[in-house]
Amino acid sequence: MATEVAESYNLDEPLLCKKKEEFREYLMESIEEVLSFSKVVLNFLELNTPFKCKEIIDCPEVFSCELRDLFGQSAAGIEDLIIERFFNKIDKKYVKDRDKKFEDYIKEALKGYTDYY
C-alpha cells in the first residue's frame, strides 16, 4: 500500500510541475500584454532588484514591491490590469477586493489552479 501511495505521488509530481510552469507562463504573458515595454521592465528588474521572472509565482510580493518602486502609485492600476488579464487566461473570475494585494491574488489562484493535480 505504501508503495502505491509513493508511486502515485511521484506520478503526480511532473504534472504538478507542468501546471505550475503553465501558470507562470500565463502570468508572464499577462504582464507582457499589459506593459507594452515589458521586456525592458522585466530585464531592468532582474538586473537591478531581487526580482527573478522564474520565481514570480513563488514570490509575487517581490514583483509587486519592485513594480511599485518603479511606477509609484500607478503600479496599483498596472497590477489590477495584470490580474484581470491573468484570471481571464486561467478561466477564473476576477473580483476586485480592496483588502487583497497582488500576491494574495496570485497565491490563491495558484492554489486553485493546482488543487486538482
What is the distance between the alpha carbons of residues 41 and 105, in angstroms, rounded to a whole number?
A: 21
pTM: 0.83
Does the pLDDT at position 31 exceed 90?
A: yes
- Comparing 98 with 6, the larger pLDDT belongs to 98
Q: Which helix (H) or strand (E) holds 82?
A: helix 74-89
Domains of the chain: 13-114 (1.10.1200)
Grid cell for residue 23 = 501558470
Residue 70, classed as helix, strand or coil, is: helix
- Give the confidence band of 15 by pLDDT, cuts at 50, 70, 90: confident
What number of residues does the chain have?
117
